[in-house]
Amino acid sequence: MKCGEARRFTEHLQKENKHLREELERLHSIIRLLKKDKFGSKSEKYENISTEQMVFNEIEVEAPKAPVETEQISYIRKKKGRGKKKPIPEDVPREEVIIDIPEDQKICPHDGTPLKQIGEVVNEKLKTIPAQTSVVLEKRLKYACPCCEGHMAEGKSNSILPGTIATPELLSFLIFSKFFQALPLYRLEELYRLQGIDLKRSTMARWLVQISQKLIPLWNVLEEKVFASGYVGIDATTVQVLKEEGRKARTKSSMWVRGSPELGIVLFDYDVSGGGAVAKRLVTGYKGALQADAHKGYGALERHNLILLGCMMHSRRRFYKAWLEAKKQSGIASEGLAMIKFLYDKEEAYKKRNLTPQERKKWRDEFPSALRAPCFCL
C-alpha cells in the first residue's frame, strides 16, 4: 500500500471511528432516558441549581463583595412537635355543646361551699353528617268554578325536569358526585340501594343528559366571560369512549379544555378529533392571548387577532431532557433550567402573597428582558 493510500485509509478510519463514538453516545443517551421513563422517578426535578449558574445574575456574582463579619451563637430550643393546625373556616356552621359536671360535684369537698364557675375551655371538633335523602311531597292544588263548573285550574310544577322525581338538589348532587368526585353511576346506584331506594343508573344517566341541555345558556355565559378576559388557555387530551355509536371501543377521542385561571372558569368540549379544525372552531370570535402546547394542529388557527403563547412546562421538559442527555453536566440546558426555576420561584412567591394579576404584571415587568417568556403573534 502506497503512502498516500495509507494516509487516506487512516483518515477514513478516524472519521468512521469518530462517527461510531458519536452514535454510541447518542444510543447511550436514549437508553438513559428509556431507563428513567420505565424505572426512574417521574419527577422532573433539577438539582444543583446555584446562583453562579444563572447567567442573568452574573454582575452580582462577579462583583467583589465586602467581607462579612461572623460570630458564633449557641443556644438550646424546644424540639418542634406537630405543626400548627390550620383553623376550620369561619363560614362552616357551628353548634355549641355544653359539657358540665354533675350537680353533686359542684360542692367543695373540704368545706361544703358551692363551686363558682371561673371560665371555660373551648375546643373545636369536626362533625360530618352523610348526605341525607328526603322526599318532597308535592301537592298541586286544583280549582273549579262553583257556578258553571266549566272552568278549572291547577297549580303547575316548577320542576327543572318535568315528569321526573328529580329535584334541583338531587341533580346537583349527581353532577357533583359524577363529574367532580368521579364517582361512577353504579356506585351512586348502590348508595341509594343501601337506603332502600331504587334509582337505576340508566335513569341517572338520562337525567344528566337532559340537564346538560338545560345548562347550555349558563355554559354560554361562562364562555363569554372567558373570551372577554383577554387570555385563554387551551389543551386537548385523548379519552376512550365505550359504546359510542359508529365507532370502535378502542378508538381514541379528544376532550378539549379551555379556561381562564384568573376567573376560575374551565370549559370542557368533547370531539372525536384532536386536530386543528376543532381548535379553530373553539376559538372562533376570540381576540387576545391564547396559550397552548406545540401541537401542530394549532397551525390551522387564523393568523390575526391572536397572540399564541407557548407553554413553559413543555419548554422546560425539552431543557430537562437535554440536561439528562448531557449527564446532568453544566451547560446551556442547566442554565435554561436555572432560569425557569427562578421564574417558578417568583410566581410561587406571588401566589403566597395573594397578588392581583395587575400586581404580578408590575413585578414581572421588572425582570431582565432576557427572562421574559417569548410569544409568537399569529
Mean pLDDT rounded to a whole number for the chain: 82
Instruction: Return the minimum-mean-pLDDT range out of 20-29, 92-101, 331-340.
Output: 20-29
Mean of the pLDDT values across residues 31-53? Answer: 63
Mean of the pLDDT values across residues 221-238? Answer: 92
Residue identified by cell 451547560 is: 331
C-alpha cell of residue 314: 413543555
The per-residue pLDDT for 233 is 92
Q: Does residue 378 carry a pLDDT above 50?
A: no
Coil, strand or helix: which one is 144?
A: strand
Q: Does residue 188 carry a pLDDT above 50?
A: yes
Give the rounded percent of residues in the chain with a pLDDT score beyond 70: 84
294, 310 Cβ separation under 8 angstroms: yes
C-alpha cell of residue 359: 400586581
pTM of the model: 0.63
Model confidence at 376, in pLDDT bands (50, 70, 90)? very low
| CA angle at 221 for the pair 291 and 350, rounded to the nearest 5° | 45
User: Could you tell me the residue ranges of all domains in the chain?
Assistant: 164-214, 229-310, 311-378
Measured CA to CA, the distance from residue 158 to residue 106 in angstroms comes to 58
The correct answer on CATH 1.10.1740.10 for the domain covering 229-310 is no
Residue identified by cell 440546558 is: 333
